[in-house]
Amino acid sequence: MGRLNVSLCGIPLDNPVIPASGTFGYGYEFAELYDINLLGAFSFKGTTLAPRYGNPTPRIAECASGMLNAVGLQNPGVRRVIDEELPRLKQCYHKPVMANVSGFSVEEYAAVCELLGREPQVGWLEVNISCPNVHGGGMSFGTDPQAAAAVTRAVRRVTDKPVLVKLSPNVTDIVTIARACEDAGADGLSLINTLLGMRIDLRSRRPVLANTMGGVSGPAVFPVALRMVYQVSRAVSIPVVGMGGVRCARDVIEMMLAGATAVQVGAENLVNPYACRDIINELPSVMDEYHIPTLESIIGGAYKWAET
């Protein structure tokens, strides 16, 4: 086993770096820039049962040390993803991929997961119960432990693939929701999704986003994400995938010390399309600097100090 190798829900990864859903398309767009097979894995664009055109524009805005988005889960629907996107991806990516799934009812989550779970290239189902940019779905399931558990149980019943539940930071107690998902059969947890925020245009005196509010991502959210990864990974016995403001190899190592088994990179892909490649290439030298023999050996290292 190499220095960068980790295992996520029993599936080996060459390294823990995973581009986050919504920032890497269906992969082949980035394959035009570099060999994406060097990635640990990647999470493709959030998929719903029916096609979605997303929210009205404007739906992207800048903010200090980050960005706001209210794209609204624009995607072609699960059947076109299976019939068109995955075959095209298979031509340039030869590892298991993470399928990000969203829904507007428990039944919809289960239906999409059942279909994607049959696809050989799908390694994990990342069940997004945390999107703040849609009405009547997404985050409404992720803010209540019983609703989160109901989605998790429904998905667990229809697939044998590992199920990762993606959690919202827009809650009072993320640990309670994490435990509810674990008890309902989740194999792992992804956190955090974006924080709810907004901007106002001073000239028009109206919200900048047509959706009024959107999700804040980027470096500004990293300390919040790190804190939540630390809290959740100490409270559950299933692996955690950490994300939120990750920009460099040092951020990846910090996330893993907080308890993450793997680390997703989101907004930075939109700033620098080579971000994940650069992070992977940078990891060995940063590991040498901090005398880290293997990445797997440091998972949860920060809270292990608190237990001695």
Q: Which residues pair with 10 in a beta bridge?
A: none
CB-CB contact of 6 with 296 (8 Å) = yes
| Number of residues written out for the chain | 308
Cα–Cα–Cα angle for 110, 111, 117, rounded to 5 degrees: 85
CB-CB contact of 26 with 89 (8 Å) = yes
Show the low-confidence residues of the chain (pLDDT under 70): 1, 131-140, 304-308
| pLDDT of 305 | 67
Q: Within 13 Å and on the Cβ side, how many CA atoms surround 276?
A: 32
The residues annotated as belonging to the active site are: 131
Q: Which pair of structure tokens corresponds to residue 278? A: 């650069």
| pLDDT of 64 | 86
Sign of CA dihedral 60, 200, 132, 260: positive
Asked: is 6-56+72-198+217-306 a CATH 3.20.20.70 domain? The reply is: yes
103, 137, 142, 241 from 150: Cα distances, Å: 13, 14, 11, 21
Domain boundaries, the chain: 6-56+72-198+217-306
| pLDDT of 133 | 46
Dihedral (Cα; 37, 121, 242, 198), 10-degree rounding:
100
